[in-house]
Structure 1
Amino acid sequence: MTNSNNKKKALGLGIKALLNNIDEELKATADSLPAASNKNTAAVVGGRIPMEQIEVNPKQPRHDFDEQALKELSESIALHDIIQPITVAKMANGKFRLISGERRFRASKMAGLKDIPAYIRTADDQELLELALLENLQRENLNAIEISLSYKRLMDECSLTQEQVADRMKKERSTVANYLRLLKLPPDIQKSVRDGLLSMGHARAIIGLENVEEQLYVYREAITKGLSVRQVEALVKNMVHEKKPLEKTENKEVKLPPAYKRIQDNMSTHFSTKVSLERKKNGKGSIMIEFYNDEDLERIMEAMKI
């Protein structure tokens, strides 16, 4: 609320006052930035940087931008300039790489700005990645999958443990673990979480099922019927309960060669249900496609064009 009120006051003072306040904005931004992992990393407050000297960070964790929101922001920037500086890293070639503020940077380019206020840091590649991830996780409205991917990259590329990621983000370790579990879901489900069709609550309930085909079935039910998180949790609970008596017989599945396993998995994905493929040494075999109710059978038949 305070930043919003300050901006309104500044707008009332005219463009000159806005530009004169840039240095104060830069210092305020500097104070709020996360510390880099290397104590020797130098940081320096900068002024305005030519747009052509800034390159987008290829390790930027955010990929989804609302085009309409960008257009509205660019129109505002065209009228009033940009107030909150972006954050960049000074590169060895003399150019600058974006750490945070890609939305503001894109909107400024759309508005035709020739330069932009920026806070400048110096960092090596790993520090740059960690800064970008931490900055975006703290400041941007990332979706659950983007957060999950950012946590994983912090662990994989910055050699951090779950505990260290949790400590840096001021989160419980269980919270970080829950986000990372989302990355085990099939791509279709991850995309729906990314697109806002499913919430993290839906995804967490679905991941309670070990079988990919069952996960896809619940996902389809949730999307087509608009199920709430509690309804999805109840559906998963019922499926897990019904499955227990069958576990002894299901554990006797014959292991398929990799090529046939891929065929089985592709068919499971296509029909969004469990498919069991059996092939004997003489080349003969069978395919069993499961369905959960009459509606599910009709859907499978439609997918078969029957």
Structure 2
Amino acid sequence: MSKKFANTNPAFGLATATINLDRVTNPDFPEVNEILLDSIHPSPSQPRTIFDDAELSGLASSIHTHGLKQPILLRRRAEGGYLLVAGERRYRAHRLLGRDKILAIVVPDNEDVEATALIENLQRVDLTPVDAGRGLQGLQERAAERGEKLTQTALAQFIGKSQSEVTRLLNIVKLPAAVLNEYEVIHKDVSKSALTELLGIDNEAMTIHLWGMVKDGASVAEIRKAKAAYREKLEPAAQATDLPRTAPIDKARKQWRKVATSLTKVEIRPQDLSSEDVEDLRRLRDAITSIIGE
């Protein structure tokens, strides 16, 4: 691809925001071509599993009127055709329009664009909690394939979310399959808070029962009350195993009371803090959130 093409073709659009145009003369630089839709295969690592028909129709209308502003991202497959790395909504919109080709950036095999695409998808506000959790799982699995371990702390830094939020999203995708499958159908009617209330129960039957309450329109407070009542029934059996935990909780209680007292007595301005101070405070905030919730 020539530098002239990159500088003059308006269809290259927003792709220039993430691609260094100083590399366009390099033979390894991604190609920009019109690709047959029938030769494109969806990526199994795509975190988004739910595509709203009305939104797709709106996108198709916009593309019909204004053209495609950003090419999709593809990689060649060894078995032929192309793997769709990023831009599945644009790809589907072209299908709706009855078009047979789409403008695409075809990247070389030595670029780990799947991880980049996953991170970009996870930063979208319209992903469902289930899709976001599966995307995080995908990043961990890709790291494991390279013999690396991607911690929840590192994941939080990658996608710009708190560690407690990452923990919640990863736990959500561990809910029973029956819950996750039904959620995909009615996700617009289920708040993230209601879904989160299903976590922390080591009893699938009770989780399914609470999910039934969610589907029937129960409020978060009602679900929380039912969850607390269930736990109260388990307390007599759990008391014996909970006794050894009294000592560490007493020790932690003294520490958090000391911290709470110190922070309320001293006036601290953001400009007085070092980057290390900020990171320590963020870890403290995430630790508290993981205990008492948001």
TM-score (norm 2): 0.64
SS of the equivalent of 1:168 reads: helix
CA distance in 1, matches of 2:179, 2:36: 41
Name the structure 2 match of 1:303.
Answer: none
Q: 2:168 aligns with which of 146, 159, 178?
A: 178
SS of the equivalent of 1:88 reads: strand
CA distance in 1, matches of 2:124, 2:106: 17
When the two chains are superposed, the root-mean-square deviation of aligned CA atoms in Å is 3.1
CA distance in 2, matches of 1:173, 1:165: 8
Cα distance 1:188–1:50, how it changes in 2: closer, same or farther (>3 A)? closer
Name the structure 2 match of 1:135.
Answer: 120
CA distance in 1, matches of 2:174, 2:79: 39
Instruction: For 1:30-179, list aligned pairs within 5 A.
Output: 30=19, 43-44=29-30, 46-91=32-77, 95-123=81-109, 127-139=112-124, 141-159=126-144, 160-179=150-169
Amino acid of the structure 2 residue aligned with 1:28: A
CA distance in 2, matches of 1:239, 1:94: 54
Amino acid of the structure 2 residue aligned with 1:188: A
Cα distance 1:90–1:115, how it changes in 2: closer, same or farther (>3 A)? same
Cα distance 1:48–1:28, how it changes in 2: closer, same or farther (>3 A)? farther
Point out where structure 1 has 5 or more consecutive residues left out of the alignment.
Answer: 1-18, 32-41, 250-306
Q: Shift of residue 98 of structure 1?
A: 1.4
Amino acid of the structure 2 residue aligned with 1:173: Q
Name the structure 2 match of 1:26.
Answer: 15
Matched, 1:222 2:208: no
CA distance in 1, matches of 2:140, 2:227: 30
Matched, 1:191 2:181: yes
Amino acid of the structure 2 residue aligned with 1:185: L
CA contact (8 A) 2:34 2:101 kept: yes
Cα distance 1:23–1:155, how it changes in 2: closer, same or farther (>3 A)? closer
Instruction: For 1:230-249, list aligned pairs within 5 A.
Output: 230-247=221-238
Amino acid of the structure 1 residue aligned with 2:122: L
CA contact (8 A) 1:193 1:203 kept: no
Q: Shift of residue 22 of structure 1?
A: 1.9
CA contact (8 A) 1:193 1:199 kept: no
CA distance in 1, matches of 2:195, 2:59: 32
CA contact (8 A) 1:185 1:207 kept: yes
Cα distance 1:122–1:163, how it changes in 2: closer, same or farther (>3 A)? farther
Name the structure 2 match of 1:200.
Answer: 192
CA distance in 2, matches of 1:184, 1:28: 36
SS of the equivalent of 1:185 reads: coil
SS of the equivalent of 2:197 reads: helix
Cα distance 1:43–1:203, how it changes in 2: closer, same or farther (>3 A)? farther
Matched, 1:213 2:198: no
TM-score (norm 1): 0.61
Q: Shift of residue 174 of structure 1?
A: 1.9
Q: Shift of residue 100 of structure 1?
A: 0.9
Q: Shift of residue 46 of structure 1?
A: 2.3
Point out where structure 2 has 5 or more consecutive residues left out of the alignment.
Answer: 1-7, 21-27, 145-149, 241-294
Identity %: 26
Amino acid of the structure 2 residue aligned with 1:166: A
More helix as a share of residues: 2
Q: Shift of residue 220 of structure 1?
A: 1.4
CA distance in 1, matches of 2:167, 2:88: 28
CA distance in 1, matches of 2:101, 2:162: 40
